[in-house]
Amino acid sequence: MYPDREKALARGKRKDKTFIRVFCGIFISVGIILFAVSIIVGVSDHTFRQKAEPVDAVILAMRGVTGESLGTPVVRYTVGGETYTTTLNVATSSMHPGKRITVYYEKGNPQEVRYLDANGWLIPLFVFMGFVFAGMGTAFWLVKRSRERKARRLLATGKVVEAEITGIREDTTRSMNRRHPITVSCRYTAPDGRVYFFHSGPFWYESYEINPKKKVRVYVDRNNPANYYVDVSSVVG
């Protein structure tokens, strides 16, 4: 007993749209956030540097050092003949007790101090990671659009053949709510005896919604048999 075809098709289409929105949305959003963080940090450092003065400091200790943490540097520096000791909010792998570094203190408020050199590599890293995440989300969306255009073109102009289903499996490279889309493998024997094998893209149907006794429609490019579209919806229900 197979499920209602129209409901299954609508549910599969809805899941596909949701997956694209969630997957692309997460990656693009993370990329935008990283871009925003790099801009905020860069502007903050630039603004602070404009009203700050550099001073040599020595690292007295690295507090809270563990196997997973670099610790927090405690530094001592002298401004106007007065010595100050403070804890910085950033650490690098090269920091260690006894090392001398340059910190920046706010004019008129020597206790307000920052270590800005670390952000020299931190900001480019955020920008790079922003490009990576936003690029992945955008590339996935563009590939999806390209496949949809290909499918529409083949549905309109391709040669239709009916192929026997040889396998239905989950595409474990994609996941949503711990569920995976399915792919369908099929075989078509041409009148001249030649056998063609086709594999569908991922579709958000349940395997039990596919009728393996039906023949699946495949739209094949008339000039290039390697270019085809397996219409999995034709065997739903």
| 10 & 87 share domain | yes
Whether the CB-CB separation of 202 and 174 falls below 8 Å is answered with: yes
Give the H or E element holding residue 53: strand 52-63
| 128 & 146 share domain | yes
| 50 & 70 share domain | yes
Single pTM value for the model: 0.70
The total domain count for the chain is 2
- Domain endpoint, select from 90, 118, 152: 152
With pLDDT > 70 as the criterion, what percentage of the chain qualifies?
97
| 137 & 202 share domain | no
**At a CB cut-off of 8 Å and minimum separation 6, what does 104 contact?**
48, 49, 52, 53, 54, 55, 113, 114, 115, 116
| 145 & 164 share domain | no
| 198 & 183 share domain | yes
| 96 & 181 share domain | no
> Taking Cα atoms as reference points, which of 51, 30, 213 lies closest to residue 136?
30
Q: Which amino acid is at 195?
A: V
Q: What 3-state DSSP class applies to 226?
A: coil
Q: pLDDT at position 5, please?
A: 83
| 117 & 18 share domain | yes
Rounded CA separation 218/155 (Å): 9
- Domain endpoint, select from 117, 134, 152: 152
Summarize pLDDT for 22-59 with one digit per residue, the tens. 999 999 999 999 999 999 988 988 898 888 999 999 99
| 46 & 74 share domain | yes
Least confident of 122-126, 151-155, 232-236: 122-126
| 140 & 225 share domain | no
- Domain endpoint, select from 99, 122, 152: 152
**Angle (nearest 5°) at CA 107 between 103 and 112:** 55
| 81 & 174 share domain | no
Domain, as residue range, for 27: 1-152
| 209 & 120 share domain | no
Mean of the per-residue pLDDT values of the chain: 91
Q: pLDDT at position 193, please?
A: 93
